[in-house]
Amino acid sequence: MFDRPQPDLYFSQDHLAFRAVLRSFVDREITPNIAAWEDAGRLPRSLYKKAGDLGVMGALYPEEVGGIGGDMFFHVVVSEEISRCGAGGVAASLGSHSIGTPPLVKLGSDALKQQYAVPVIAGDMISALAVTEPGGGSDVAALRTRAVRDGDHYVISGEKTFITSGMQADVFTVAVRTDPDQKGAGGISFILVPGDTPGLSRTPLAKMGWLASDTAHLVFDQCRVPVDNVIGAEGEGFKAAMMNFNNERLTIAIQAYSMAEVCYREALEWAQQRHAFGGPISQQQVIRHKLVDMAARIDAARSLTYDIIWRYQNKMDPLNVHVARTSMAKVTATNAMKFCADEAVQILGGMGFMRGTASERIYREVKVLTIGGGTDEVMKNLAASQLGI
C-alpha cells in the first residue's frame, strides 16, 4: 500500500524517475555494505562522491551551487530512498550536509559558496553542523562557544558535542557567540570552520546505534578563522539556526516513517512465512492487528509530512502554523517508528533480537530520532508556543 507508482499531487514523473535511480543505487551500493561500514564506524568517502554524482546531495540546493534545483519532494525522495536501507547511521552521515550546508547556501557569500558548498554538493567534501554543546543542546540560546574579533579574524574557543560526521567533516558550520555582551539568542552567529584549522581537535564517541555514522566531540582551542567566514549577518545566527532546525525536523520525520516502513515490511514478510500452531502467524488475529496498527501509523505520519511540505511550498500556511505542524510531525513520525520497531521485533520473536535483521537495528536506533534535532519535549513546547496554547 505504500508504493506510489503513478504521478499524484506530490510526485511528478520526474520525481518517480529520480526515485527509481536512487532505489537501485541504494540496493547496489549501500545495503550490501552496511555491516562493513558499521564495523568501520564510518562511511567511505567514495560513497559521498557516488551519491554526489547522482544528485543525492543536490536535491535541496539550487543549480548555481551544483544542486538539481528541484522542489522539496526531490528531497523527500532522497530521504525516503536512503532510509530504505534500514540503517540510520547511513542516512545521518550521508545527510549531514543537509543540516551543515543550507545556512551557507541561503545566507553565505558567493566566495564561501564556491569554496565549500559546491564541493560538498558534488560529494568531494563532507560538511557537518556544530550547535550542541556539552552544557546542553535544547537551550540553543545558552550556547557558550565564543568567537572574539582579532583584526581580520575571529578566534574561536569552546566545545561542541554529539556532532554527526564530526570525525570526517572537511568543514563545520558552527554556532558561536560573536557578541559576548549579549546573552540569550542575540549575539549568536554561524561561522564556517575548515576541518584542518589549527586548534580544532576531535574525539570519536561510542553509541548504541547509528554505528555507520561517526559522531564526535569537538574542542576549539583558539581557532583563527577569517571574518569573511561568517555566514549571513553577524548576530543573526539564532534565527538561521531555528529555520535550519525546522527543515532538519521535516527530514527526521521522513526518515522516521521510512524506517518504520522497513520494520513493517520485514515483519509482514516474516509473519507470512513463519508457521506456528498449524499455519502462518499472519493468520493469527493479534498479529494481523499489529500489522494494521503499524501501517496506520506510518500512513498517518507520511500523510501529515507530505501535507506540511506541500502547503509550505505553496505558501499556504503562516510560519507559526508551519513550525507547529513540523514539530508535531517529528513527534508523530518518530513515535510511529518507535511503535513499529517494537512490534516488528515482537513479531520476529527471537529472530528480532538477533543482529542481522533490520528491525533489531532500528529498535536500537529509534531513540536518537526522538532526541536529535529537538527532543519530543522541546517539540511539544515549541508547537504549543507557536499555536498560542
Ligand X SMILES: Cc1cc2nc3c(=O)[nH]c(=O)nc-3n(C[C@H](O)[C@H](O)[C@H](O)COP(=O)(O)OP(=O)(O)OC[C@H]3O[C@@H](n4cnc5c(N)ncnc54)[C@H](O)[C@@H]3O)c2cc1C
Of 208 and 286, nearer to ligand X (C-beta) is: 208
Contact (CB, 8 A) for 193 and 200: yes
* Binding residue (CB under 6 A) for ligand X from 167, 211, 368, 383: 368
Identify each DSSP E strand in 137-199 by its residue range: 146-150, 153-164, 171-177, 188-194
Minimum CB–partner distance for residue 67 and ligand X (Å): 21
Q: Tell me the per-residue interface mask from 199 to 238 with ligand X, x by CB under 6 A, - otherwise.
A: --------x--x----x-----------------------
Minimum CB–partner distance for residue 163 and ligand X (Å): 5
Q: Tell me the per-residue interface mask from 159 to 178 with ligand X, x by CB under 6 A, - otherwise.
A: ---xxx--------------
Interface with ligand X, residue 375, by CB under 6 A: yes
Contacts of 152 (CB under 8 A, 6+ apart): 226, 227
Minimum CB–partner distance for residue 286 and ligand X (Å): 33
The set of cell numbers assigned to 69 is 534545483
Interface with ligand X, residue 193, by CB under 6 A: no
Of 8 and 377, nearer to ligand X (C-beta) is: 377
Contact (CB, 8 A) for 259 and 282: no
Which helix (DSSP H) or strand (DSSP E) does residue 242 occupy?
A: helix 237-273
* Binding residue (CB under 6 A) for ligand X from 83, 132, 258, 282: 132
The torsion region of residue 86 among left (phi > 0), alpha (psi -120 to 50) and beta comes to left
Minimum CB–partner distance for residue 133 and ligand X (Å): 8
> What does the angle CA 367 – CA 362 – CA 74 come to, to the nearest 5 degrees?
95
Total site size for ligand X, rule CB under 6 A: 23
Interface with ligand X, residue 373, by CB under 6 A: yes
Contact (CB, 8 A) for 181 and 187: yes
75 burial class (0-12, 13-18, 19+ CB within 10 angstroms)?
buried
State how far the Cα of 245 lies from the Cα of 188, in Å rounded to an integer.
Answer: 15
Options 1-9, 134-142, 147-155, 353-361: segment touching ligand X (CB under 6 A): 134-142
- Positions touching ligand X (CB under 6 A) are 128-132, 136-138, 162-164, 207, 210, 215, 368, 371-375, 377-378, 381
